[in-house]
């Protein structure tokens, strides 16, 4: 009995819920992906060839930033 009530409550909530809408338009995703992947490549090139800093903090921050932007590009 309790299961049936819980199911009907969940079912009515599902039916009355609004459809999912993304925060950014889907048409912008290819441009966003291109931008973020290009930025990830350029930062990767910069931190592996151009910037030869002796400070580990700079390298670690750059690697984290590069990793995050690469993941955003792959997700888009």
| pLDDT given for residue 59 in this prediction | 64
| pLDDT given for residue 56 in this prediction | 55
| pLDDT given for residue 44 in this prediction | 80
| pLDDT given for residue 73 in this prediction | 57
| pLDDT given for residue 46 in this prediction | 75
Please give the full DSSP string across the chain, using - where no structure is assigned. -HHHHHHHHHHHHHHHSPPP--SS-GGGHHHHHHHHHHHHHHHHHIIIII---S-HHHHHHHHHHHHHHHHHHHH-
| pLDDT given for residue 27 in this prediction | 92
Which residues of the chain have a pLDDT value below 50? 75-76
Counting Cβ atoms within 10 Å, is residue 2 exposed (0-12), middle (13-18) or buried (19+)?
exposed
| pLDDT given for residue 7 in this prediction | 87
Q: Where are the domains of the chain?
A: 24-76
């Amino acid at each position: 009995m309790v299961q049936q009530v819980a199911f009907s409550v969940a079912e009515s909530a599902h039916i009355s819920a609004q459809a999912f809408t993304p925060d950014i338009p889907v048409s912008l995703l290819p441009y966003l992906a291109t931008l973020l992947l290009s930025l990830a490549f350029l930062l990767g090139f910069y931190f592996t060839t151009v910037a030869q800093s002796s400070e580990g903090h700079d390298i670690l921050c750059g690697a984290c930033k590069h990793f995050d932007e690469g993941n955003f590009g792959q997700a888009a």
